[in-house]
Amino acid sequence: MVRDLMRWDPFREIASLREEVDRLFDSFFGRHTEKLIREREAFWVPAVDIEETENEFIVKAELPGLKKDEVKLSISEDTLTISGERKMEKEEKGKTYHRIEMNYGKFERTIRFPTEVIPDKAKASYKDGILTITVPKSEKAKGKEIEIEIE
């Protein structure tokens, strides 16, 4: 009789519950996908990393699926703006989406540097979906280290 008892596995119960919740969400939202697609196309913001060295700022932005001519950069004394648009593929007859998680639509990301930069010396490159912008600091922003004599 002891052999007939099955040991309770809470992880199996959780997995079963998750499958059921996923099924319910898919069945509900499956009827309203056009509305969800329009809402997702409204606006998105790319992720960025901002690194500061002694002489410059290095900004890296994730822009997968975009061509470099679909991205616009503008810069001033202390502000960098990255903008553009990722367009969704046109609907094709017979094509069915089961899930749309990628972000589409216009985007704009404005980064304010903590110090003044030299806008006309900024450089940008784009490789494998990563936009890298290097912006030198102004001489004023670098600051000088002055040794103080102790009396």
Distance from C-alpha of 116 to C-alpha of 6, rounded to nearest angstrom: 68
Domain ranges for the chain: 41-142
* CATH classification code of 41-142: 2.60.40.790
Which position has the token pair 């003044």? 116
Q: Is residue 34 pLDDT above 60, yes or no?
A: no
**142 vs 7, 8, 58, 103, 112, CA distance in Å?**
66, 64, 15, 38, 17
63-77 pLDDT, tens digit each: 998 999 999 999 988
pTM: 0.64
User: What tokens were used for 89?
Assistant: 């593929």
Q: What are phi and psi of 78, to 5 degrees?
A: -140, 10
User: What tokens were used for 65?
Assistant: 């699926």
Q: Are 75 and 119 in contact (CB under 8 A)?
A: yes
